[in-house]
Structure 1
Amino acid sequence: MFFIPTKKECDYIVENSKQFFKKEIKFLNKNISIYHYKQAKYEEFVKFNAWELRGLTFVEYKRFLSLHKFFELNQAPGWMKEDVKNKKIKKVVEKIDGSLLQPILIDGKIYFKTKLSFDAYQAKRANEIMLKNLNIKEYIIKCFEKNKIPLFEYISQKSQVVMDYNKEELINTQVRDLNTGEYDLEFEKEALKYNITTPKSYDFNSLDEIINEAKNNKNIEGWVVIFEDMQFLKVKTEEYLKRHKIVGKIQPHEVIKALIEKDKIYEEILSKESEKYSVYRDIKEKFLKKYNSLKKEAKKALKLSKKEFKKKYATNPYYELFALCRNKGVDEFDGWIKKHTARLKGAKKFLELEE
């Protein structure tokens, strides 16, 4: 059912497609090859049957699977609503909004990695969690003894993606056979024996039920739907998509727009312990410092005579702004700032950030 490529076949794909790449590293004196993709073009996955090149890892020639590539509803051919609406659903679980982690077995020891790195913060924290919770280590070893790999999502306030789970945890999301790629659809029973958290399961009978729930549910990212033919599908809630557009990547021009409009969306969504909040806070502080300074200067400019104004501000980079406020009032100040920071380039220039 799943095409599990050899290292040689992965190398062939990388050599013949601009979409896929190989990252080679040394880890614990082992040659590690990691295969991944730059873009998610459906056509390239089909052309090379490359669905497994999503963090697929080889330690020398020993292969460790990740999740295979699959798409969101209406994101690609075969995943359109018309393609899947009549398919029979086998299983539906909550989609966890964290960092995907693989446990890699090297010389009898387990090391977590993200899609591309053993050194990422999330991987290092997962290793530390495992050292404190021997059940996790024992469970993973038992899986490997059965020639299976358990896959996890790491969640924490610091590494918040969009959802704020208000806790740090490793969640076991799937288990796969290392040779065939087959998914164990009842892995939760074994994980429960070790007190390992798994995603919540849902009893939806149709895709329409899930789509309707996605319109109203504001508490989760969405769902992973598995059909009887083992096609996987992601369905995300409308609230999550809205939030992801805002905080998926913190951009200066979008933060400035929210600050000018007194929109507190970033404060509401982001955990104050997260790295994203630190980025937001830095942009906010830089913006408000310059904004308040310029506004103070604009009010001073109103008190000057025309001659004094030109003499003082003729070479000032914000002459246009001060002149506008002189002629039409300080109420025009915010509109000018908003217009000149509406795009990323303008926002970076205003904040004096490097391009």
Structure 2
Amino acid sequence: MIDYVFAVPETFGSAVSRECRGLKFDADGRIIGRPFHKFFNLGERERIEDIDWSAPHCILDKLDGSMVHPVLLDSTLVFMTRMGATVQAALAQTHADEGVLGLSRHLLAGGITPIFEFTSPGNRIVVAYDTPALTLLAARAMVSGTYLPQADLVRLAERFGVRAVTVAGRIADPKRFVARARQEAGIEGYVVCFDDGHRLKLKTDGYVLRHKALAGVQFEKNVLAWVATGAVDDVVAILPPDIAARVLDYQGTVNAALAARAREIRAFVDENRSLARKDFAALTMQRFDKRLTQAVFTAYDGKDPSIALQMLATRAAASDLKVDAVRDLFGMRWSVEGLGLPELEA
């Protein structure tokens, strides 16, 4: 499985890197699962004015659950999320009916990955859903990455009796559509799906809690929490451009430092893995700051130190005092000086 933990500004700078987001391979290196490529919020990398709205496209509902997709492992159908065979994926599979399973096998046999959204009262992110459901969102050719046309997807859903994502027509007035969509309540938002595979997310102001985001930027612990939990993408899309730019710069600094620490730890572990645990521990205490030792031992045990480092940053985000306690490890500095912060109602 190929995925990412930290994202710095240049992480998704190429078409290849945007595909490295949950790709799955078998033991012989053959691709067995290709979920969505990385795509962005409207305003995150493209403004309304930058987009050719005359290009063929449609509007899809953006559901608020977990993206799941099936793969075949030794002829057994196994559902996975972006990160692999997770608890959420296993739970989703328990709600896969004969239609979902039949459509999945049909497409996988043709080298195509079906992509579903799993929504459930027990898998709530923000929007509440009454009953568990698997909704067909898209399907991709595993090797080429080509998306099935939306019309074909609808026909397949009808054929197998599977729920498909709601599709609307093209956008005639982009600014008016965006303004209206941002004000909607009770939904996450929309995905604009172009026929050439390009996609854009548009989330409602309510979903990303603009008021809370604008209030939150005054405290570094909140900004660090957005970075540590991967929430920056959602937040910057609704912040004023000058504030969003500063948050993105802060994210780049923190994530670059986290990635550098992870590389340092991996190199140390690779060099000293042959040592007995007692000797390895003694050397670790000499070489690393005690705040990093948990991540070092995580790597020694064969796990990704990035996760432990991310947890360190997450715990530090509990208070500005704790942020100060790790500032020397990650080199970040937050200031709202010079930003035109709006006056917010309590």
Partner residue, 1:59: 26
The Cα shift of 1:111 comes to 0.4
Partner AA of 1:105 in structure 2: L
Aligned match of 1:135: 99
Are the aligned partners of 1:162 and 1:243 in contact in 2 as well (CA < 8 Å)? no
For residues 321 and 11 of structure 2, the distance between their equivalents in structure 1, rounded to whole angstroms, comes to 36
Larger RCO: 1 or 2 (CA < 8 Å, sep 6+): 2
Aligned residue for 1:166, secondary structure, equals coil
User: 1:198 aligned to 2:160?
Assistant: no
Q: CA RMSD, aligned part only?
A: 2.5
Which of 44, 55, 67 is 1:88 aligned to? Answer: 55
Deviation at 1:124, TM superposition (A): 1.3
Moved over 6 A (4+): none
Other-structure match for 1:344? 318
Q: 1:232 to 1:47 in 2, by over 3 A?
A: closer
Q: After TM superposition, give the deviation of residue 41 of structure 1 in Å.
A: 3.7
Give, in whole Å, the separation in 2 of the partners of 1:116 and 1:241. 23
The residue identity in structure 2 corresponding to 1:92 is I
Cα distance, 1:137 vs structure 2: 1.1
Task: Report the counterpart of residue 119 of structure 1 in structure 2.
Answer: 86
Matched, 1:73 2:39: no
State the 1:156 CA deviation: 0.9
Contact 1:174 1:183 in 2 (8 A): yes
Q: 1:245/1:142 Cα in 2 relative to 1: closer, same or farther (>3 Å)?
A: farther
Distance 1:157 1:243 in 2: 25
- 1:236 and 1:59 map into 2 onto residues whose CA distance is 35
Provide, for residues 29-88 of structure 1, a one-character-per-residue CA deviation record: whole Å limited to 9, x for no partner.
Answer: xxxxx1111234452322573111111111211211010001001112xx2222116443
* Structure 1 position 89, deviation (Å): 4.3
User: Which amino acid counterpart does residue 92 of structure 2 have in structure 1?
Assistant: A
Partners of 2:127 and 2:321 in 1: CA distance: 26
Distance 2:82 2:139 in 1: 16
How far has the Cα of 1:212 moved from its partner? 2.4
Between Structure 1 and Structure 2, how many residues are aligned?
A: 216
* 1:153 and 2:117 are equivalent in the alignment: yes
Structure-2 residue corresponding to 1:18: none
Matched-pair contact (CA < 8 Å) for 1:87–1:227: no
Match of 2:177 in 1: 210
Matched, 1:108 2:75: yes
**How far apart in 2 are the matches of 1:151 and 1:189?**
15
Counterpart check, 1:232 vs 2:196: no
CA positional deviation for 1:180: 1.1
- CA offsets 1:313-336 (integer angstroms, 9 cap, x no match): xxxxxxxxxxxxxxxxxxxxxxxx
Give matches, 1:242-253, under 5 Å: 242=209
What is the match of residue 220 of structure 1?
A: 187
Percent identical: 26
Amino acid aligned to 1:197: R
For structure 2, the residue ranges without an aligned partner over 5 or more in a row are: 214-220, 223-316, 323-346
Secondary structure, counterpart of 2:13 in structure 1: helix
Q: Larger Cα Rg: Structure 1 or Structure 2?
A: 1
Distance 1:91 1:48 in 2: 22
